[in-house]
C-alpha cells in the first residue's frame, strides 16, 4: 500500500509518500492546472497500487476528493487546528509539510458517501505506539 500525505493548495499539491512493501519514500509537487495530480493518481490506479491519502480539511479540494472517490482511494481528512495542536509545533498550520500528514493522530476516514470514521491506529498502526 502507498500512504500519501497531501499539503493541498488550490493550484498545486505537495505530496510525501511511503510505499509499505518497499520502504520507498519521496516528496514531489503536483500541478493541478497542468493535470499532473490527476495523472499521478490515475496512474497508481491503473498500476493496481492500493492508496491511502491523508490531508487537512480545506474548502477548495472538492474536485480532488471526488477524483479520489472515483478511483477508489481511501481518503483521511484532518482538522488543521487539531493537527497543529497534536504536532506540538508552534508554527502556522500552512507551514506544516505534507510528510507530517502521515504521522499525526487527527485524521478521520472519509468513506464512500461519508459513511464512516476510523481512528489513526487503523490508518497507520505504528502511530499508536
Q: Give the structural domain span for 6.
A: 2-128
Helix H, strand E, coil C: the string for 23-61 is: CCEEEEEEECCCCHHHHHHHHHHHCCCCEEEEEECCCCC
Residue percentage of the chain with pLDDT more than 90? 40
Secondary structure (3-state) at 75:
strand
Q: Which positions ≥6 away from 119 have C-beta within 8 Å?
A: 105
The predicted pLDDT at position 58 comes to: 75
Q: Domain total for the chain?
A: 1
The predicted pLDDT at position 127 comes to: 45
Q: CB of 47 within 8 A of CB of 21?
A: no
Look at 3-12, 39-48, 107-116 and tell me which has the smallest mean pLDDT. Answer: 107-116
The predicted pLDDT at position 113 comes to: 37
The predicted pLDDT at position 101 comes to: 52
pLDDT band for position 105 (cuts 50, 70, 90): very low
Which candidate, 79, 30, 74, 36, places its Cα nearest to that of 53? 74
Q: Which positions ≥6 away from 45 have C-beta within 8 Å?
A: 51, 71, 72, 73
Which candidate, 97, 107, 113, places its Cα nearest to that of 127? 107
Q: What is the CATH number of the domain that holds 124?
A: 3.30.420
pLDDT band for position 60 (cuts 50, 70, 90): confident
pLDDT tens by residue, 70-97: 999 998 887 665 554 554 545 454 444 5
The predicted pLDDT at position 77 comes to: 83
Asked whether the whole model's pTM tops 0.85, one would answer: no
Amino acid at each position: 500500500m502507498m500512504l500519501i500525505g497531501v499539503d493541498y493548495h488550490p493550484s498545486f499539491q505537495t505530496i510525501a509518500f511511503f510505499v509499505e512493501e518497499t520502504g520507498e519514500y519521496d516528496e514531489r509537487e503536483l500541478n493541478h492546472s497542468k493535470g499532473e495530480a490527476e495523472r499521478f493518481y490515475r496512474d497508481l490506479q491503473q498500476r493496481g497500487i492500493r492508496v491511502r491519502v491523508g490531508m487537512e480539511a480545506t474548502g477548495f479540494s472538492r474536485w480532488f476528493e471526488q477524483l479520489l472517490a472515483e478511483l477508489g482511494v481511501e481518503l483521511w481528512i484532518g482538522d488543521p487546528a487539531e493537527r497543529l495542536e497534536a504536532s506540538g509545533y508552534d508554527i502556522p498550520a500552512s507551514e506544516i509539510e505534507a510528510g507530517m500528514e502521515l504521522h499525526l493522530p487527527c485524521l478521520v476516514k472519509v468513506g464512500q458517501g461519508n459513511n464512516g470514521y476510523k481512528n489513526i491506529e487503523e490508518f497507520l498502526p505504528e502511530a499508536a505506539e
